[in-house]
Chain A
């Protein structure tokens, strides 16, 4: 994008205009994230700058509040089990989809991506109606199942992407050396696709971790997750504790994002060596 030496005045004007425009858009993209983080260290319960002083009182409030801690605990438990369920089902399905073409494949694919496509409110309302009729609403297993449903497609997509370059001769080699199917899977296939499986699992976890609408419908007060608790907090009164929670969630997202990027690079590097 460097301006050539022979650029005309009009080109120069356009160049600087374009530069300013892009800077403004990046500020727009990043401002909310970088404004809310310092506010969580404000010693006063206001949302404005300049801040009078710094303190950790809002973090202290979070870690001493039973309601917030319950939310945190529920989010971790639900996220953990939903991730295990989604990753197991999704990885097996991706292996199956990679193995063979069969007649019902479009149907399977349509069902598979429907949780991504169908508006979340419809999903949540449907689950609310159905789970109530089988006694699963306002229960932890209900939320785990619901969140696993939303995470499965991401696992299948991520693992399938890893399988695209998978060399099936490696499986044949393992079999020809006498290993049975299970052993080949754990000793050959899984180590190779592991980065994809881990990325998929992270995807499934963050889907559950950030999910709010299903939690609004399905969670009773005892199952409130962190986002659900935030939602009540924002609607009642916007307290600075929420900015502390938001800051922790942002940092958590950054950690997950960096992990996934490193995994992706590792996969690419491994592929590069093999090619």
Chain B
């Protein structure tokens, strides 16, 4: 703090080094203080936020369930080259461990994991586990495969054995392939999943499609409003700005609820439309894409208006007048003189709107139909109802990746210090 000594005053200088070192000490002390002040927040966020998310994302490449239930089988299958059927020794180990796992009831998560590879694997494995002690243990090694097949004829298909080998872990690309509708076939090649399981590329495409459409509509509606706010005298524009901020400050859930009330079949919009004779039957405005767009644009619009308005406010109106006085048509002047100056605000608004749209869950879940659910919905589904955490994690990595790419662009061109919400 006493670092501002006047160099022309020799009294304080009992030697340059002393002053230098004292300055350095003061500087270091200040930095330590700063770090000490930041540390609690930093530790809090790392422990309470970064670590939880990292530990979730880690699940996307982990494949530990089968290894935990059948540790020795996993080793034996790992050693098998994948040709034909596993060697009899591996099958014997598998049979022994099945007996133990069935007795200890530790087969649950392993059967669930293997069921992801083939539906029906779960019941087959449970059945084999139940009958293992009786029908598999002690069978001569040249007959053990036939003993498996005797319990369930599907064991005659090499694909099931390969699925176990594929699940030996500890790392696997299984869930990432699943998240892009791919799977490894019997030969280990990456192929498309059967069409009834292929939904995630569609979901990803739909997520991008909805985000782009919402951003585009927000831009078309937001630009005139921002222009109006920026060109009105401050007394009027402040009032209108409050009208923009009012919905902005109302919670997302409340606004979505309001749209349900408005859009449903007996809702206000349908009543009004029929009353005024625009249409005779109630229009389907909810549980479909129209509802999603209406509600999402409503929620996202302020994120477009505010950054554009902030930039437009700083543009000198004389530039337009100068262009017009030089003979440019109003529109030409707007396009050539005004709009280029707005680009930073437009870029910020579009990127912010797009980034925030990508992660929508609540609004599409409430006003959309089954075909309008975005990637977040499927993360929740797999996390909660389906309990396929690996797939949920893989989808999360994809969503996070896309978000971070666009945020990086945002940060490059706008700067995250401009990320002021309101």
Complex alpha-carbon distance, A251 and B42, angstroms:
35
Residues of A within 8 Å of B51, CB to CB, are 130
Contact A102-B255, Cβ < 8 Å, known A92-B40, A123-B53, A125-B380: no
Which of A26, A96, A125, A172 makes the CB contact (< 8 A) with B392? Answer: A125
Chain A's nearest CB lies how many Å from the CB of B36? 7
Q: Is the CB of B53 within 8 A of A149?
A: no
- A128 beta carbon closer than 8 Å to chain B: yes
**B358 on interface, CB distance cutoff 8 Å:** yes
CA distance A260 to B420 in the complex (A): 14
Interface status of A262 (Cβ within 8 A of chain B): no
Cβ of B41 under 8 Å from chain A? yes
Provide the bound-state CA to CA distance between A224 and B381, in Å.
Answer: 20
Of all chain A residues, which has the CB nearest B402?
Answer: A119
The verdict on A76 contacting chain B, using a C-beta distance below 8 Å, is no
How far, in angstroms, from A246 to B251 measured CA to CA in the complex? 9
> Which A residues touch B361, using CB under 8 A?
120-121, 213
Q: How far is the CA of A39 from the CA of B264 in the complex (A)?
A: 15
User: In the complex, what residues of B have CB within 8 A of residue A235's CB?
Assistant: 366
B59 beta carbon closer than 8 Å to chain A? yes
Q: B261 an interface residue at 8 Å Cβ cutoff?
A: yes
Residues of B within 8 A of A3 (CB): none
CB of B403 within 8 A of CB of A117, answer yes
Q: Is the CB of A112 within 8 A of B249?
A: no
Are B30 and A149 in contact, CB atoms less than 8 angstroms apart? no
Chain A minimum-CB-distance residue to B240: A26
In contact, B400 and A32 (Cβ under 8 angstroms)? no
- A238 proximity list for chain B (CB < 8 A): 257, 260-261, 264
Is the pair B33, A212 in contact by a Cβ cutoff of 8 Å? no
Give Cα distance in the complex from A233 to B209, angstroms.
30
B35 at the interface (CB under 8 A from A): yes
B261-279 contacts to A, CB under 8 A, are: 261-262, 264, 266-268, 271
Pairwise interchain contact B37-A246, C-beta atoms closer than 8 A: no
* A46-54, A56-64, A66-74, A266-274 - the one binding chain B: A46-54
Complex CA gap A121/B389 in Å reads: 13
Residues of A within 8 A of B264 (CB): 47, 238
User: Which listed residue, A31, A129, A175, touches B52 by the CB 8 Å rule?
Assistant: A129
- Quick one: CB contact mask for B44-57 with A, threshold 8 Å, 1 for yes? 11101111111111
Residues of A within 8 A of B221 (CB): 25, 28
Cβ B224 vs Cβ A89 within 8 A: no
Given contacts A32-B298, A96-B36, A122-B400, contact A250 B254 (CB under 8 A): yes
A100 CB within 8 Å of chain B: yes
B 236-265 binary contact with A (CB < 8 Å = 1; else 0): 000010011111011111110111111010
What is the CA–CA distance of A209 and B258 in the complex, to the nearest angstrom? 18
Count the A residues whose beta carbon is within 8 Å of the partner chain — how many?
Answer: 88
CA gap between A272 and B417 in the complex, in Å: 23
Given known A33-B255, A129-B56, contact A119–B399 (CB-CB < 8 A) = yes
Distance in angstroms from B49 CB to nearest chain A CB is 5
A47-B261, A99-B30, A112-B41 are contacts. A119–B400 as well, Cβ < 8 Å? Answer: yes
Chain A 1-39 interface mask (CB, 8 Å, partner B; 1/0): 100000000010000001001100110111111011001
Residue of B57, B240, B245, B249 with highest tally of chain A CB at under 10 A: B249
Which residues from 130 to 188 on chain A have a C-beta closer than 8 Å to any C-beta of chain B? Answer: 130-131, 133, 145-146, 148-149, 152, 154, 156-157, 161, 172, 175
Chain A residues with CB below 8 A from B409, complex form:
none
Given known pairs A29-B301, A131-B52, the reply for A210 and B262 (CB within 8 Å) is no
A129 and B49 in contact, given A93-B40, A246-B258 (Cβ under 8 angstroms): no
Q: Which of B197-253 contact A (CB under 8 A)?
A: 221, 224-225, 228, 231-232, 240, 243-247, 249-253
In contact, B254 and A154 (Cβ under 8 angstroms): no
Query: A32-B259, A95-B37, A116-B419 in contact; A227/B246 too (CB < 8 A)?
Result: no
A220 at interface (Cβ–Cβ under 8 A)?
no
Any A CB within 8 A of the CB of B379: yes
A87-133 contacts to B, CB under 8 A, are 89-90, 92-93, 95-97, 99-100, 102, 108-109, 111-123, 125-131, 133
For residue A197, which residues in chain B have a CB less than 8 angstroms away from its CB?
none
Does B76 count as interface, using CB distance less than 8 angstroms? no
Find the A residue at minimum CB distance from B362.
Answer: A212
User: Known interface pairs A99-B34, A120-B359, A210-B252. Does A243 touch B261 (Cβ–Cβ under 8 Å)?
Assistant: yes
Cα distance A90–B40 when bound, in Å? 9
Q: Which residues of A are found within 8 Å of B49, using beta-carbon distances? A: 111, 114-115, 123, 126-127, 149
Q: Does B396 contact A (CB under 8 A)?
A: yes
Answer whether residue B421 sits at the interface, using C-beta atoms and an 8 A cutoff.
yes
Residues of A within 8 A of B48 (CB): 127, 145-146, 148-149
When distances are taken between beta carbons in the complex, the residues of chain A under 8 Å from B150 are none
Known interface pairs A128-B383, A210-B252, A257-B245. Does A92 touch B404 (Cβ–Cβ under 8 Å)?
no
| Known contacts A90-B41, A96-B35, A250-B254: A234-B56 contact under CB 8 Å | no
Q: Is the CB of A126 within 8 A of B376?
A: no
A/B interface sample: 18 pairs, CB < 8 A: A30-B246, A47-B268, A89-B40, A95-B37, A99-B30, A100-B31, A108-B38, A108-B42, A111-B45, A116-B419, A118-B403, A122-B396, A125-B379, A126-B57, A212-B252, A243-B261, A250-B254, A253-B251
Given pairs A102-B35, A250-B254, 10 additional interface contacts (CB within 8 A): A18-B224, A30-B247, A32-B258, A48-B268, A114-B50, A117-B403, A129-B55, A230-B253, A231-B253, A253-B246
- What 4 pairs between A and B have smallest CB-CB spacing? A119-B359, A96-B37, A130-B52, A32-B258
